[in-house]
Structure 1
Amino acid sequence: HKNLEIEKKMAQDQFSSAMDSNDQAATTEAKKEMLLIIEREKNNREAAKAMIRKADDVVETNDKDYVFIHFILNYLPKGLVGLLLAVILSAAMSSTASELNALGTITALDLYKRNKKDEFSPEHYLKVSKLFTLLWGIVAILIACVANLFDNLIQLVNIIGSIFYGNVLGIFLLAFFFRFVKGNAVFIAAIITQVAVILVWYLDWMSYLWLNAFGCALVILLAIVLESFDRLHKNPPIKTI
């Protein structure tokens, strides 16, 4: 592994030099060399994991989610380690609490209350929102129990976020800067965009991080087009003879 690291650094230096000198042939050759080294490194990792599993089939062999923890334990000063862990735990608890409260409130008001014909007291809706918060907490726990089956949790979280964040960002930008676009056009554009983003991710047409920009641009474009067609349909141009 150490020898491969040395070879990789040499290949990267050759690639950088070839790029600086605009030597296309040398650039292509250096790139091929780096890809071969990366493939050899991957094969060595898989062989090491197989050897570990032979010795103990229960031991954890996934090393992709522990880079940050390894850096904290081995390279940060001792006094900062506890402070950083406390900050991470505080941020995790704060974000989790706010997300669960938001989900419970939105579910109680936008779904439950709107679909109930009878009027109830504020105390009733408070209890319902608490029950929905508990329900979403159970859902989060179930997802967490299944998430450890994936090879790389950090990548999994980023993929899930990239699939949905671009669409949501586009909706917010439409509300702030394109106020002439009405809700129906935004809703239809959001549905089409979400299906398109999932399809693009499934077919692997682009890196998952680019799905954020793709979803944001697509929902804005579709909403403007749909709103323009809707206005044209409601107010057709008057023909003059």
Structure 2
Amino acid sequence: MQPLDLIVIIAYLVGSAWLGLKLSGKQSNVKDYFLGSRELPWWAVCLSVVATETSALTVISVPAVAYLGNITFIQVAIGYLIGRIVVAFVLLPRYYRGEMTTAYAYLGQRFGRGMQSTASVAFILTRLLADGVRLFAAAIPVKVILDSYGLNLNFFAIIAILSLVTIAYTFFGGIKAVVWVDVAQMALYVVGGIIALIFITGNLEVNFWSEAADAGKTQFLDFASSPISAPYAFITAVVGGALLSTASHGADQIIVQRLLTTRTLRDAKKAVIGSAVIVFLQFALFLTVGLALWSYYERKSVEELGLERGDQIFPTFIVEGLPSGLSGLLLAGILASAMSTLSSSLSALASSTMSDLYEKFSTRPLSEVRALRLSRLFTLGWGVVFIGAGALFTGTDNPVVELGLSIAGLTYGGLLGAFFLGLWVPKARQNDAILGFAVAVALMTYLFLFERTLIGFTWYTAIGVVVTVGLGFLLSLRHRGAATPAPITTEVNAR
């Protein structure tokens, strides 16, 4: 690493904060702050959705998946497309019909305030853990850089610096700043991945794809592995990916909030379906980088490379194998992917806390000025909490992308199941939904903690959906008539 690389990285951090503040405009109320006044173009929202879900996990961990195994991971992206089509035509129309600010406002309208708050709290806890993993992932390459300079900062200090920069533009700029910075950040890390692939292949004397094919690493579809324990068996990956995508893009506020910033329902549909196509291409790019690295490092194992974990392979190449300046650019791209997810999480957590919790339980009316000020304080508070959450994860034997998806799966199934229960079971009441959701989350937590090798993480969401809907349906049989939905009273039209 050269001083020029550090200059590039510092310039990126400063530039991100400046760009977010410059493009955000002024906010006069909560609708401006959390929804951008519903005037953002669909293509920007589409790219923001991709940047948000990508994070540093994709950039540094997906190459490790291909390096250590093969490219069957990309089957998950097929399921992603199916899941987003379901979101576009089943869930999004209901959100737009009630002009809702959060995904969980529908659950409040269908079941009641208790279910809305339960879903919001579950989202908050899951988001803290999952994005704690993402922050840790971003800190890995930064530590590689600093160690090369003899600067032995720990992970906590690195996470704190990344978080503070992100908090700055999210605090002042709101969702507009988040979306427009996401667009720039996505462009940066995709260009970085392409540049890395060009340099890797330029230093190879063999055809890396042919070499990988001979070793069975270019296998795209996996029909042979066990669909129960193997996370990338075809049925597991596609079905699990579809349900995971339906939950993440239809029941997770971090994505739903973004989709609600578009001008029309049609724009939201284009944004969510288009994001699946882009994600497929991204997975293909970074899996190909992993295969090229496998040839570049002459099939060496992680231990033979002198590394502690597979997620360090790509960052190590960036530091050691690229010219000065380009190393800094690619590392800035990794930071960009992490910061885009963190900024989105901060905005989503603040909006959910404000809309689903504070305003539902507070009897004190809020003026527009006070509501906006309080929303910013929630953003700041969650930013501080994120710093602590990121420091919880200091190591894992598996690629961190799998850990992040596993944690998300703890509540995704229960959340999506609650939505389906409300749509498909007219007799279901609030207590039925809450109990079904609670049992699903408890079961998935047990599987994650004690039986992780028994069932592939791609099944987590499916199991949670079945448990929530199944138990909720059985409990609903004790009721005679269909439930009467509560009036749609949301934060947007209440003001």
Q: TM-score normalised by the shorter chain: which range applies?
A: 0.5 to 0.7
User: Which string of whole-angstrom CA distances, capped at 9 and with x for unpartnered residues, describes residues 190-231 of structure 1?
Assistant: 011111211233331523332222112211111222222233
Deviation, 1:69, is 4.1
Equivalent of 2:434 in 180, 187, 190: 187
> Which residue matches 1:139?
385
Counterpart mapping for 1:48-59 below 5 A: none
Matched, 1:211 2:460: yes
Q: Identify if the C-alpha distance between structure 1 residues 197 and 230 changes in structure 2 by more than 3 Å, giving closer, same or farther.
A: farther
Measure the CA separation in 1 of the matches of 2:383 and 2:418.
26
> Which residue matches 1:26?
none
> Which residue matches 1:39?
none
Matched, 1:230 2:479: yes
Measure the CA separation in 2 of the matches of 1:127 and 1:100.
15
Asked if the contact 1:186–1:223 (Cα under 8 Å) also holds between the matched residues in 2, the reply is: yes
Measure the CA separation in 2 of the matches of 1:120 and 1:158.
38
Matched, 1:118 2:367: no
Higher helix share: 1
Deviation, 1:136, is 1.2
Deviation, 1:72, is 7.1
**Structure possessing the higher radius of gyration over alpha carbons:** 1
The count of residues paired between Structure 1 and Structure 2 equals 182
Deviation, 1:90, is 4.0
Measure the CA separation in 1 of the matches of 2:413 and 2:327.
34
> Which residue matches 1:104?
350
Measure the CA separation in 1 of the matches of 2:332 and 2:362.
43
Counterpart mapping for 1:54-73 below 5 A: 61-69=307-315
Measure the CA separation in 1 of the matches of 2:389 and 2:416.
24
Asked if the contact 1:62–1:151 (Cα under 8 Å) also holds between the matched residues in 2, the reply is: no
Instruction: Say which SS state the counterpart of residue 147 (structure 1) adopts.
Output: coil
Deviation, 1:73, is 8.0
Q: Identify if the C-alpha distance between structure 1 residues 69 and 115 changes in structure 2 by more than 3 Å, giving closer, same or farther.
A: same
Instruction: Say which SS state the counterpart of residue 120 (structure 1) adopts.
Output: coil
Measure the CA separation in 1 of the matches of 2:357 and 2:340.
25
Q: Identify if the C-alpha distance between structure 1 residues 94 and 172 changes in structure 2 by more than 3 Å, giving closer, same or farther.
A: farther
Measure the CA separation in 1 of the matches of 2:395 and 2:479.
46
> Which residue matches 2:97?
none
Gaps of 5+ in 2: 1-67, 69-211, 217-301, 484-495
> Which residue matches 1:201?
448
Asked if the contact 1:147–1:153 (Cα under 8 Å) also holds between the matched residues in 2, the reply is: no
What TM-score, normalized by structure 2, do the two folds share?
0.31
Deviation, 1:110, is 2.1
Matched, 1:163 2:413: no
Equivalent of 1:95 in 341, 345, 360: 341
| Stretch deviating more after TM superposition (194-203 or 99-108) | 194-203
Measure the CA separation in 1 of the matches of 2:356 and 2:384.
20
Measure the CA separation in 2 of the matches of 1:231 and 1:73.
66
Instruction: Say which SS state the counterpart of residue 230 (structure 1) adopts.
Output: coil
Q: Identify if the C-alpha distance between structure 1 residues 75 and 230 changes in structure 2 by more than 3 Å, giving closer, same or farther.
A: farther
User: Which string of whole-angstrom CA distances, capped at 9 and with x for unpartnered residues, describes residues 69-110 of structure 1?
Assistant: 46778999xxx9888766654443333222211111111222
What TM-score, normalized by structure 1, do the two folds share?
0.59
Which structure's relative contact order is higher, taking Cα pairs within 8 Å and 6+ residues apart?
A: 2
Measure the CA separation in 2 of the matches of 1:81 and 1:183.
53
Deviation, 1:156, is 2.7
Asked if the contact 1:104–1:132 (Cα under 8 Å) also holds between the matched residues in 2, the reply is: yes
Q: Which amino acid aligns with 1:208?
A: F
Instruction: Say which SS state the counterpart of residue 361 (structure 2) adopts.
Output: coil
Alpha-carbon RMSD: 3.9
Gaps of 5+ in 1: 14-43, 53-60, 235-241
Q: Identify if the C-alpha distance between structure 1 residues 74 and 231 changes in structure 2 by more than 3 Å, giving closer, same or farther.
A: farther
Q: Which amino acid aligns with 1:105?
A: S
Instruction: Say which SS state the counterpart of residue 365 (structure 2) adopts.
Output: coil
Measure the CA separation in 1 of the matches of 2:337 and 2:460.
26
User: What is the aligned-residue identity percentage?
Assistant: 29
Instruction: Say which SS state the counterpart of residue 311 (structure 2) adopts.
Output: coil
Asked if the contact 2:318–2:331 (Cα under 8 Å) also holds between the matched residues in 1, the reply is: no
Asked if the contact 1:170–1:216 (Cα under 8 Å) also holds between the matched residues in 2, the reply is: yes
Q: Identify if the C-alpha distance between structure 1 residues 73 and 217 changes in structure 2 by more than 3 Å, giving closer, same or farther.
A: farther
